[in-house]
A and B are shown apart, each in its own frame.
Chain A
């Protein structure tokens, strides 16, 4: 599963006030990090509905990062605590579905922590590379037996004897 050419797709939800600025800082300070992350700016980590994470995974993401201000430093007073509780709830559920913990990570990064955020991104990418592709939609792709079975039913009905009324 872990082949060297695998480049994971990572979706990152970053809050406007801290983490997204940390990413900006990493950029202006020319701190290199893995290019696998696609960053989506949200106003607050508390805006990240579990739906966003589930949708990312179901549409082909191999991992998701949720990043917000440090606890106690939320621009909206305590919404990052809500993000934390939601994250724990979601992780509990994803575990039961068979999604490895390392694929969805919660990270705190202040606007000054470009270096730390870059390291966290590198860690997440390395973790997901080690796990291999998620390819969630393959979980419900039935193989050719299904189409053959459908065809069999049609053929069988065509061959079946007419019952005289």
Chain B
């Protein structure tokens, strides 16, 4: 691979090639993005030729302290995956923004919140109740909750503060590029790295990827969409050659950005929208609601309501599975707008 030589700012052939600095960080995420980066296979060696990986807690040793000591803008590219749920994650987002020339919101979590963002339907209090009290495998008679500050003999210890609302990366700090997907497909990651290395980047603020929808890459036959009932995947075995939406299965392909290679519909499973909205749609759920409403074959308000109630028991999980935090409404309504910060401390039964 000759990625370095292709660069617009490539050094003359006789000068020793100067490597760029690459950071890869994770916040509220699952680690799948790192797996996907490693999935570019032997091309990771080309990445290592072009960049020194200065920071990537998931796959290499590194200290926050070393990043703090760097000059501002010293890191050339930072791939940041995960949403921002805690003060520590917000601190790292701010730190890496300051130290990086190019900050990429990497993957669905950083771009639009993804699955961790679905917890935005609840308050921090409700999340803690569930995690530390209510699940059947939890035994916590002292009702111990994590505290932001704890006094011990040696002084005061701090844990990150857990926020009520998970934010996307660009709701926290300015972002240069977006690479959607849960996780981004390895080929798309390579496309992005190649674009960065060769300096052939789209205008700042844009998504590195396609603008068309998953449907454009789907092999299934499409005719007219008119349905009387939405069906859930366990209710039917779909015809492998006919559009899934025409069979009543909620397939998000109509609203979802292409880039995955249409993996799910190929194996008879509907698209669930992990690549986010295509084009410049502001709200994935709104686009999907529009598309699905158009296919309902009824003009009677009662029947329409019944089709929707029966077929879509979990509307937020269906329309905003990957995009609640990044959507226009960002979250469900907080109960008793005190945003819950005072309760855990009061309730704390730390012995």
- 5 A-B pairs with CB atoms under 8 Å apart are A54-B329, A89-B315, A146-B87, A150-B91, A154-B91
CB distance from B154 to the nearest CB of A (A): 12
Contacting pair A89 B334 (CB below 8 A): no
Contacting pair A50 B87 (CB below 8 A): no
CB distance from B242 to the nearest CB of A (A): 22
Contacting pair A84 B88 (CB below 8 A): no
Given contacts A54-B327, A92-B309, A140-B331, contact A86 B337 (CB under 8 A): no
Contacting pair A85 B294 (CB below 8 A): yes
Contacting pair A54 B283 (CB below 8 A): yes
Contacting pair A85 B304 (CB below 8 A): yes
Instruction: Determine the chain B residues whose CB is within 8 A of the CB of A28 once the complex forms.
Output: none
Contacting pair B304 A51 (CB below 8 A): no
Q: Does B299 touch A at the CB level, under 8 Å?
A: yes
Instruction: Determine the chain B residues whose CB is within 8 A of the CB of A58 once the complex forms.
Output: 328-330
Contacting pair A140 B282 (CB below 8 A): no
Mark contacts of B97-117 with chain A using CB atoms, 8 A cut-off: 1 yes-contact digit, 0 otherwise: 000000000000000000000
Complex alpha-carbon distance, A120 and B305, angstroms: 22
Complex alpha-carbon distance, A84 and B290, angstroms: 11
Q: How many residues of chain B get a CB closer than 8 Å to chain A's CBs?
A: 54
Mark contacts of A121-161 with chain B using CB atoms, 8 A cut-off: 1 yes-contact digit, 0 otherwise: 00000000000000110111111011001101110110010
Complex alpha-carbon distance, A78 and B292, angstroms: 16
CB distance from A15 to the nearest CB of B (A): 17
Q: Does A30 touch B at the CB level, under 8 Å?
A: no
Within 8 A of A (CB), among B287-331: 287, 289-290, 292-294, 296, 298-299, 301, 304-305, 308-309, 312, 314-316, 319, 327-331
Q: Which stretch, A19-27, A31-39, A62-70, A96-104, touches the partner chain B? A: A96-104
Nearest B residue to A136, CB-CB: B329
Complex alpha-carbon distance, A106 and B341, angstroms: 37
Nearest B residue to A142, CB-CB: B163
Given contacts A58-B329, A142-B164, A145-B341, contact A153 B158 (CB under 8 A): yes
Contacting pair B294 A82 (CB below 8 A): yes
CB distance from B11 to the nearest CB of A (A): 30
Complex alpha-carbon distance, A152 and B157, angstroms: 10
Complex alpha-carbon distance, A58 and B333, angstroms: 12
Nearest A residue to B338, CB-CB: A143
Complex alpha-carbon distance, A96 and B122, angstroms: 11
Complex alpha-carbon distance, A93 and B320, angstroms: 10
Instruction: Determine the chain A residues whose CB is within 8 A of the CB of B65 once the complex forms.
Output: 157, 160, 163
Q: Does A112 touch B at the CB level, under 8 Å?
A: no
Instruction: Determine the chain B residues whose CB is within 8 A of the CB of A139 once the complex forms.
Output: 165, 330-331, 333-334, 337
CB distance from B275 to the nearest CB of A (A): 19
Complex alpha-carbon distance, A152 and B88, angstroms: 10
Indicate which residue in B286, B287, B315, B339 contacts A92 across the interface (CB closer than 8 Å).
B315
Contacting pair A50 B312 (CB below 8 A): no
CB distance from A87 to the nearest CB of B (A): 8
Instruction: Determine the chain B residues whose CB is within 8 A of the CB of A152 once the complex forms.
Output: 87, 148-149, 158
Indicate which residue in A54, A71, A98, A153 contacts B286 across the interface (CB closer than 8 Å).
A54
Q: Closest 10 interchain pairs by CB? A: A98-B333, A149-B87, A149-B161, A85-B293, A50-B286, A51-B286, A54-B328, A86-B293, A93-B315, A140-B165
Q: Does B64 touch A at the CB level, under 8 Å?
A: yes
Instruction: Determine the chain B residues whose CB is within 8 A of the CB of A73 once the complex forms.
Output: none
CB distance from B103 to the nearest CB of A (A): 18
CB distance from B134 to the nearest CB of A (A): 20
Instruction: Determine the chain A residues whose CB is within 8 A of the CB of B64 once the complex forms.
Output: 157
Nearest B residue to A86, CB-CB: B293
Q: Does B146 touch A at the CB level, under 8 Å?
A: no
Contacting pair A88 B304 (CB below 8 A): yes
Indicate which residue in B68, B161, B167 contacts A157 across the interface (CB closer than 8 Å).
B68
Within 8 A of B (CB), among A42-90: 49-51, 54-55, 57-58, 71, 78, 81-82, 84-86, 88-90
Q: Does B83 touch A at the CB level, under 8 Å?
A: no
For B65, B88, B161, B298, the residue with the greatest tally of chain A CB atoms inside 10 Å of its CB is B161
Q: Does B90 touch A at the CB level, under 8 Å?
A: yes
Contacting pair A93 B299 (CB below 8 A): no
